[in-house]
Amino acid sequence: MSHNGFGHLLRFTSWGESHGPAIGVVVDGCPPRLPLAEDDIQAWLDKRRPGQSRFTTQRQEPDKVKILSGVFEGLSTGTPISLLIENVDQRSKDYGEIKDKYRPGHAQWTYQQKYGIQDYRGGGRSSARETACRVAAGAIARKVLGPDVTIRGALIQIGARAIERARWSWVETAKNPFWCPDAETAGLWEQDLDRLRKAGSSTGAVIEIQVSGMPVGLGAPIYGKLDADLAGALMGINAVKGVEIGAGFAAAAMTGEHNADEMRMRDGRPVFLSNNAGGILGGISTGQDLVIRFAVKPTSSILTPVRSIDAAGNEVEVATKGRHDPCVGIRAVPVGEAMVAFVLADHLLRHRAQNGA
């Protein structure tokens, strides 16, 4: 157990604050002899990097990753892999003003209650900046999973507007700044967000992660279930308020015969005729695609003034100046993918330990 570590056999420990000299992550337990270079990790970090469109924060961070250990002559050695990302664009602005004013909906208040101290600059440890560490760790997890496992995420709702699933195209997700699989909805989101941005507001989003090429048998019942670990992993991402798998909340309204994914044989192999389970039964992967969704709340850092208090107990109004995301859900897509990748890779090793293959 530790507060800033994640995973069991494959395990990462993340550290760093938004405005410190650097952030980083140590990945422990990686199998030896996997090809691994900085570029393998950088590719995923570049997807999460802010400032790539007008719909994410304008903070300019190259997010250049350095491998400090655990890799030798292009291969993992089985020893801990230390990754470091320098903070470059910490603006030296005066934080004095907001330092003691609690933004409603922001972690600043609870950190202060819990610890009695915090690095408040840029959100400190609670900043979404930390999610770069998750993405870096996730890149290594993908190597552990191997090329047959494909983990892809898409934004399926921004504000009240959801995509039309019939128009789903994975190709499309790379063509718009939203990871949106539905070109038509992407265009509408652009208008929605421009309006919100100008209004000094923000909104939430729903992300869906799908995994194909899933090994059968991952997940360790009863208290290491794959769905439980995925839910914990995704709910732990900044601003996430809900997680569902397969039919999710909609399953509550179904009957047993509609919800059950019937099975037939095709070409001598068992197939499922539907996927309400989202690829998991009894906490163990079925081999079907994993389907997981999570909801991200609107960021609390907005220009619109809201009522709050300060550290001295005065009633104040708070409006956040500076660079922020109108929809933090956008950048949550690669982060969600990374967390799913890490959970799966850890479970792959756990499964192999107990079952030998």
**Cβ neighbours around 303 below 10 Å, total:** 15
151: cis peptide before it, omega within 30°?
A: no
Q: Is 213 in the site for its own copies (CB under 8 A)?
A: no
Compare residues 42 and 301 and give the one whose CB is closer to its own copies.
Answer: 301
Compare residues 113 and 171 and give the one whose CB is closer to its own copies.
Answer: 113
Residue 197 Cβ vs its own copies, minimum distance, rounded to whole Å: 11
CA distances from 64 to 84, 159, 194 (A): 8, 32, 29
Q: Is 56 in the site for its own copies (CB under 8 A)?
A: no
Q: Which of 92, 94, 252, 267 binds its own copies (CB under 8 A)?
A: 252
Compare residues 174 and 252 and give the one whose CB is closer to its own copies.
Answer: 252
Separation between Cα atoms, residue 154 and residue 190, nearest integer Å: 16
Q: Using CB under 8 A, which of the segments 38-46, 57-65, 174-182, 271-279 binds its own copies?
A: 271-279
Q: Using CB under 8 A, which of the segments 36-44, 90-98, 178-186, 198-206 binds its own copies?
A: 198-206
Q: Is 297 in the site for its own copies (CB under 8 A)?
A: yes
- Is residue 14 within 8 A of residue 4, CB to CB? The reply is yes
Nearest alpha-carbon partner for 337 in 230, 232, 249: 230
Q: Which of 39, 92, 94, 113 binds its own copies (CB under 8 A)?
A: 113
Separation between Cα atoms, residue 61 and residue 85, nearest integer Å: 10
Q: Which of 35, 187, 213, 270 binds its own copies (CB under 8 A)?
A: 270
Residues that bind its own copies (rule: CB under 8 A) add up to a total of 156
Mutual orientation of helices 38-48 and 131-145 as an angle, nearest 10°?
130
Q: How would you class 38 by CB atoms within 10 Å of its CB: exposed for 0-12, middle for 13-18, buried for 19 or more?
A: middle
Q: Using CB under 8 A, which of the segments 6-14, 39-47, 51-59, 146-154 binds its own copies?
A: 6-14
How is residue 34 written in tokens?
């996997």
Q: Which of 64, 95, 100, 306 binds its own copies (CB under 8 A)?
A: 306
Compare residues 1 and 171 and give the one whose CB is closer to its own copies.
Answer: 1
Q: Is 68 in the site for its own copies (CB under 8 A)?
A: yes
Separation between Cα atoms, residue 196 and residue 179, nearest integer Å: 19
Compare residues 172 and 229 and give the one whose CB is closer to its own copies.
Answer: 229
Q: Using CB under 8 A, which of the segments 38-46, 91-99, 176-184, 269-277 binds its own copies?
A: 269-277
Q: Using CB under 8 A, which of the segments 45-53, 91-99, 146-154, 308-316 binds its own copies?
A: 308-316
How is residue 222 written in tokens?
């009863």
Contact string 317-336 vs its own copies (x = CB under 8 A): ------------x-------
Residue 150 Cβ vs its own copies, minimum distance, rounded to whole Å: 21
Q: Is 295 in the site for its own copies (CB under 8 A)?
A: yes
| Bridge partners, 155 (sequence order) | 207
Q: Is 153 in the site for its own copies (CB under 8 A)?
A: no
Separation between Cα atoms, residue 239 and residue 223, nearest integer Å: 25
Separation between Cα atoms, residue 338 and residue 297, nearest integer Å: 19
Q: Which of 94, 96, 117, 147 binds its own copies (CB under 8 A)?
A: 117
Nearest alpha-carbon partner for 343 in 248, 247, 214: 214
CA distances from 168 to 86, 155, 162, 165, 173 (A): 37, 11, 12, 5, 9
Q: Is 92 in the site for its own copies (CB under 8 A)?
A: no
Q: Which of 61, 172, 229, 337 binds its own copies (CB under 8 A)?
A: 229
**Which letter does DSSP use for residue 103 in this model?**
P
Q: Is 192 in the site for its own copies (CB under 8 A)?
A: no
Q: Which of 39, 147, 148, 160 binds its own copies (CB under 8 A)?
A: 160
Contacts of 267 (CB under 8 A, 6+ apart): none
